[in-house]
């Protein structure tokens, strides 16, 4: 693994994630945890993300409308875990019908 450009590849994926490809943010977050000591499985995951990017390079977020309106949707579940009483929350914000941030 010492000859594999793992750190360089993950850095390039981070740049793509921040600038244009929000859809790979979870995968990049996972593979970036192993930059100090990557294994073969981690390199396979990086190559998978690169293949995904190559296969979806013609896909894009489409913004409909001319006004640029922002709309947010939020959902929360406060009683899903009766033992711990923890809750889960999710959200998505759209700009002209195109998702721009989500969790």
Residues 51 and 75 in one domain: no
Would 17 be classed as within a structural domain?
yes
pLDDT-based confidence at residue 43 (cuts at 50, 70, 90): very high
46: in domain: yes
One domain for residues 21 and 47: yes
Q: Based on the domain organization, do 43 and 81 belong to the same domain?
A: no
Q: In this structure, is residue 62 part of a structural domain?
A: no
**Token pair of 57 as six digits:** 């390079």
Sequence-distant (6+) residues with CB within 8 A of 92 are: 72, 73, 99, 101, 102, 103
Q: Is the pTM of this model over 0.75?
A: no
Length of the chain in terms of residues written:
103
Domain with 93 in it: 70-102
Structural domain contains residue 63: no
Do both 43 and 79 map to the same domain? Answer: no
Smallest CA-to-CA distance from 45 within 17, 10, 16, 11 is with 10
**59-89 b/e (C-beta count within 10 Å ≥ 16 → b):** eeeeeeeeeeeeeeeeeeeeeeeeeeeeeee
Average pLDDT rounded to a whole number, residues 75-88 = 73
Q: Is residue 1 part of a domain?
A: no
In a domain, 93, yes or no: yes
Q: Domain check: are 76 and 45 in the same one?
A: no
Q: pLDDT averaged over the chain?
A: 84
d(CA 49, CA 42): 11
What pLDDT sits at residue 66?
62
**Count of domains forming the chain:** 2
């Amino acid at each position: 693994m010492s000859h594999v450009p793992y750190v360089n590849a993950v850095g390039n994926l981070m740049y793509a994630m921040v600038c244009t490809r929000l859809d790979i943010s979870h995968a990049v977050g996972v593979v970036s945890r192993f930059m100090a000591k990557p294994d073969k499985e981690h390199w396979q995951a990086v190559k998978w993300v690169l293949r995904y990017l190559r296969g979806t390079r013609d896909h894009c977020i489409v913004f409909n409308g001319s006004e640029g309106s922002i709309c947010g949707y939020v959902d929360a579940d406060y009683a899903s875990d009766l033992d711990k009483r923890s809750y889960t929350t999710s959200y998505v914000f759209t700009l002209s019908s195109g998702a721009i941030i989500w969790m």
